[in-house]
Amino acid sequence: MREAGVPIAIASDLNPGTAPVASLLWSASLSIRLWGLSPAEALFGVTRHAAHALDPDADYGTLAVGQSADFGIWDIPCPESLLYAPASHRPVMSFFKGEHR
């Protein structure tokens, strides 16, 4: 399906049977290691593609004017750092509905 261009959504489900993982970043990291996704595919999988899987008309999943603004900011050298060492980085800021938390 990946070769056919089907978008891949990545999530954490935290159920003891099939997905005993609470961390979304860890799920993204596993998608690289186990499924061979690129870092860009994994990041789209936990943002844009995951939002679309929940609601094709969603106003979340991307950073754009008019979109719902729930996001985190990390002090890292590159986005891939989050995926190769997901437990090593904590966000320095987070925003929920556009408000700093």
The predicted-structure confidence for 56-71, as pLDDT tens digits, reads as follows: 998 888 888 888 878 8
Give the confidence band of 53 by pLDDT, cuts at 50, 70, 90. Answer: very high
Residue 47: HSE in the Cβ half-sphere, 13 Å Cα cutoff: 16
Indicate if the pLDDT at residue 16 is higher than 90: no
Q: Which amino acid is at 41?
A: E
Q: Find, among 23, 96, 10, 19, the residue nearest to 50 by Cα.
A: 10
Return mean pLDDT, the chain.
Answer: 89
Number of H helices, E strands in the chain: 4, 3
As a whole number, mean pLDDT of residues 68-80 equals 89
Is the pTM above the cut of 0.75? yes
| E strand spans, 20-75 | 71-73
H or E element: which one contains 93?
Answer: strand 93-96
**Cβ contact 93:36 at 8 Å:** no
